[in-house]
Amino acid sequence: MADTSTSPDVALDRLSVDTARVLSADAVEQANSGHPGLPLALAPLAFVLFADVMKHDPSAPDWADRDRFVLSPGHGSMLLYSALHLSGYDLPLQELKDFRQWGSRTPGHPEFDVNHPTPGVETTTGPLGQGFANGVGMAVAERWLRQKFGSEVQDHMTWGIVSDGDLMEGIAAEAASLAGHLGLGKLVYCWDDNSISLDGPTSMSFDGEDVMKRFEAYGWHTLEVDTVDDLDALRAALAAGKAETERPTLIRTKSIIGYPAPNKQNTSGVHGAPLGTEELRAVKEALGFNPDEFFAIPDGVPERWSAVERGSAARAEWESRLADFLAADTDRAELWEAAQAGRALPGLGAALPTWAPEDGAVATRAAGGKALAAVADHLPTMLGGAADLASSVKATVPGGGNFTKTENGRNIHFGVREHAMGAMVNGMALHGGIGRPFGSTFLQFADYMRSAIRLSSLMRLKTTWVFSHDSIALGEDGPTHQPVEHIATLRAIPGLTVIRPSDANETSEAWRVISEELEGPAVLILSRQDLPVLDRSVLGPVSGLGGGAYVLACDGNPVASIVATGSEVGLALEARDRLAAAGTEVRVVAMPSWELFDARPEAERAEVLPKSLPTVSVEAGISMGWERFAQAHVSVERFGASAPAEVLMEKFGITADAVVERVNALLA
């Protein structure tokens, strides 16, 4: 491919591109594992972005007003690692040599890891389409913050590379549709159109549509670059994308996967396997590199790639503007600093609503909505929304307005796009400055968001997932809408805190714990049906929620324990009264969160659930996992049915009578 660049030093630009190609290929070969095809093909694009186009400072990778870059096809990670190393990030050459090895900062797919960071990696990518939607969330965050605080402190782009595979995934279609609807003009994606997927040519599955017309229909600005090796054409297209402020931009960038590998380029064989010794030698010879030298970086290349001087100057200008901005208004300064730290303003606990038993029964979804109003006042940059279910889940910011193409409100109408919502909320959290963003829908549809929820846990993001209609008790909508296994599957995700409160006051306390104490993601599981407000004058205090489980009631000399969550806590208390009337004393434990309970020392856990007492668990879902805490279970082990809620609870045995029977059977 000929380079038509008009850069002052065409030869140095070409050498800089080819160095990234060789570094990437060497790293994959040394690991004997990886995906060399994308890095070989797209090195020109990475070079132009990192060396010439993006606003970034490798010496300050967390700078709040930097441009964001998302490599959605995370299998091409060596391209990103090579670009980060060459442009000056703290990613030494040894890390490239340790690609895919234990403890390295160059894992097989890029990972955003707060405990072991790879500087310059903005998100964890790998599951295709997730990165695409992350970038849309980042663009939402940028625009909201820019309109909230002003362009003098927030004004940057989100750039990304997306692949054929990304564009095949349904999540990308959802996110693209919403990005166009919202007019996210500071979002530019480059589509690596190479006509090859893992199994072979994309013509086997992906030539029945005109992608560019599809994106035009979504409301995107579209451009094309005939060959990725035309550096000037890339620069012009990226500049045009940046100049388009009313629409997101998709640039179709034609490439040859694996170029210039003479025998493997333009084949699926170069997608996911090392080149092999002879093919790697041939690549180096074609590019003018010594085939016997590995990880070579010619003189002048790091200086050409480096963004440190340019980025440091831009950051220094921004820091000066920020200092003036903060000095001008102390309240605004406090808000900015709290937003960047992701912390709640003081006084949240006292501001949260409380309920008394005489207030009557309250659905925890309704209580959650009222608690969220107080949280929003103390996390004033928190955004979130629902997948067309805000009126049902009640997870809205009252008086916060809507986030639209023309409004900068705090409630996002994601539409019926659960997949995109999950990944966009992650992108908002990754961007920073958006308090603790949230997404909400019915618990049943958490399945659509599972990959995004899992990634929020993998990245330890401060996100909140609010799910209502938490059991068969939602009633007549039937088994398609009634979650049975969902709580268990969410609890199975490492690092995810799942909270299922038993009444309105536990719901309020759950929001406090989530907002003030948790460092990672949380799931809040809420009821559709009204639940009685527990009388805390005779029962354990609601502050026990922070410990995951606490004793609600324990009189006399208990011979067994009943442990329950959510709406079933009321059944446990009713069963306790019936057992006591028959002369059997039991202890009732509310366990809103396994994860918070597991975080406590073993001695404290034993005080709440003594191993000496036989235990029955009560939850309107499958019992899987409860065997850790109980020897017998009241549960739902099959799909639900369509009928009124009270009929279903009776038919499925989620009753106080069933709890009494289990306790008696366990004691027999």
Give bridge partners of residue 192 from the DSSP assignment.
163, 253
Across 634-645, average pLDDT: 98
- Examine the domain organization and report whether 546 and 424 are in the same domain: no
How many residues comprise the chain?
668
**DSSP three-state, residue 503:** coil
Across 381-400, average pLDDT: 97
Strand ranges for 158-206 from DSSP E: 158-163, 187-193, 196-197, 200-201
Q: Which pair of tokens denotes residue 110?
A: 């890029």
* Predicted local distance difference test score (pLDDT) of residue 4: 45
Q: Give the separation between CA 141 and CA 312, rounded to whole angstroms.
A: 23
392 part of a folded domain: yes
12 pLDDT higher than 90? yes
Instruction: Categorize the per-residue pLDDT at 323 as very low, low, confident or very high, splitting at 50, 70 and 90.
Output: very high
Return the residue matching tokens 């199994």: 199
- Examine the domain organization and report whether 559 and 512 are in the same domain: no
What string of DSSP letters covers 458-487?
HTT---EEEEE--SGGG-TT-TTT--SSHH
Instruction: Categorize the per-residue pLDDT at 2 as very low, low, confident or very high, splitting at 50, 70 and 90.
Output: very low
Q: The domain spanning residue 154 has which CATH number?
A: 3.40.50.970
How far from chain centre, in Å, is Cα 159?
Answer: 18
Q: What is the pLDDT of residues 394-427, one digit of tens each?
A: 999 999 999 999 999 999 999 999 999 999 999 9
Q: Give the separation between CA 558 and CA 555, rounded to whole angstroms.
A: 7
Q: Decide: 58 and 92 in contact? Cβ < 8 Å.
A: no
Instruction: Categorize the per-residue pLDDT at 141 as very low, low, confident or very high, splitting at 50, 70 and 90.
Output: very high
Give bridge partners of residue 464 from the DSSP assignment.
438, 522
The Cα diameter of the chain in Å comes to 92
Q: Give the separation between CA 354 and CA 507, rounded to whole angstroms.
A: 10
* Predicted local distance difference test score (pLDDT) of residue 1: 38
Q: Which pair of tokens denotes residue 91?
A: 């990613």
Q: Which pair of tokens denotes residue 289?
A: 């590199």
- Examine the domain organization and report whether 84 and 171 are in the same domain: yes
298 part of a folded domain: yes
- Examine the domain organization and report whether 601 and 487 are in the same domain: no
CA angle 70/74/80 to nearest 5° reads 65
- How many domains, in total, are found in the chain? 3
* Predicted local distance difference test score (pLDDT) of residue 556: 86
Which phi-psi region, left, alpha or beta, contains residue 287 (left: φ > 0; alpha: ψ -120 to 50)? alpha
What is the H or E stretch that residue 254 is in?
strand 249-254
- Examine the domain organization and report whether 286 and 353 are in the same domain: no
* Predicted local distance difference test score (pLDDT) of residue 208: 83
Q: What is the pLDDT of residues 192-234, one digit of tens each?
A: 999 999 999 999 999 889 999 999 999 999 999 999 999 999 9
Instruction: Categorize the per-residue pLDDT at 3 as very low, low, confident or very high, splitting at 50, 70 and 90.
Output: very low
* Predicted local distance difference test score (pLDDT) of residue 192: 98
Phi/psi of residue 441, each to 5°?
Answer: -170, -170
* Predicted local distance difference test score (pLDDT) of residue 8: 64
617 pLDDT higher than 60? yes
- Examine the domain organization and report whether 575 and 602 are in the same domain: yes
Q: Report the Cα–Cα distance between both ends of the chain, in Å, rounded.
A: 82
Helix residue spans in 582-635 (DSSP H) = 594-598, 602-608
Return the residue matching tokens 């030869």: 11
* Predicted local distance difference test score (pLDDT) of residue 286: 97
Q: Give the separation between CA 421 and CA 619, rounded to whole angstroms.
A: 28
**Of 458, 550, 477, 450, nearest in space to 467 by CA:** 450
Q: Give the separation between CA 25 and CA 276, rounded to whole angstroms.
A: 10
- Examine the domain organization and report whether 151 and 132 are in the same domain: yes
332 part of a folded domain: no
Its sign, for the CA torsion 113, 118, 119, 124, is: negative
Task: Give the end of a domain, one of 296, 312, 328.
Answer: 312
381 pLDDT higher than 80? yes
620 part of a folded domain: yes
What is the H or E stretch that residue 557 is in?
none
Q: Give the separation between CA 302 and CA 51, rounded to whole angstroms.
A: 10
**Of 188, 70, 175, nearest in space to 133 by CA:** 175
| CB-based contacts of 227, cutoff 8 Å, min separation 6 | 1, 233, 254, 255
- Examine the domain organization and report whether 359 and 308 are in the same domain: no
- Examine the domain organization and report whether 383 and 416 are in the same domain: yes
Residues annotated as catalytic are 418
Across 447-456, average pLDDT: 98
What string of DSSP letters covers 399-424?
T--BB-SS-B-SEEE--S-HHHHHHH
Q: Decide: 339 and 82 in contact? Cβ < 8 Å.
A: no
329 part of a folded domain: no
Across 551-559, average pLDDT: 94
Q: The domain spanning residue 602 has which CATH number?
A: 3.40.50.920
317 part of a folded domain: no
Q: Give the separation between CA 274 and CA 34, rounded to whole angstroms.
A: 6
- Examine the domain organization and report whether 285 and 142 are in the same domain: yes
* Predicted local distance difference test score (pLDDT) of residue 275: 98
325 part of a folded domain: no
Q: Give the separation between CA 402 and CA 382, rounded to whole angstroms.
A: 13
* Predicted local distance difference test score (pLDDT) of residue 7: 57
Q: Give the separation between CA 404 and CA 423, rounded to whole angstroms.
A: 18
- Examine the domain organization and report whether 507 and 547 are in the same domain: no
- Examine the domain organization and report whether 584 and 604 are in the same domain: yes
Instruction: Categorize the per-residue pLDDT at 579 as very low, low, confident or very high, splitting at 50, 70 and 90.
Output: very high
445 pLDDT higher than 90? yes
Q: Decide: 512 and 531 in contact? Cβ < 8 Å.
A: no
341 part of a folded domain: no
305: containing domain: 10-312
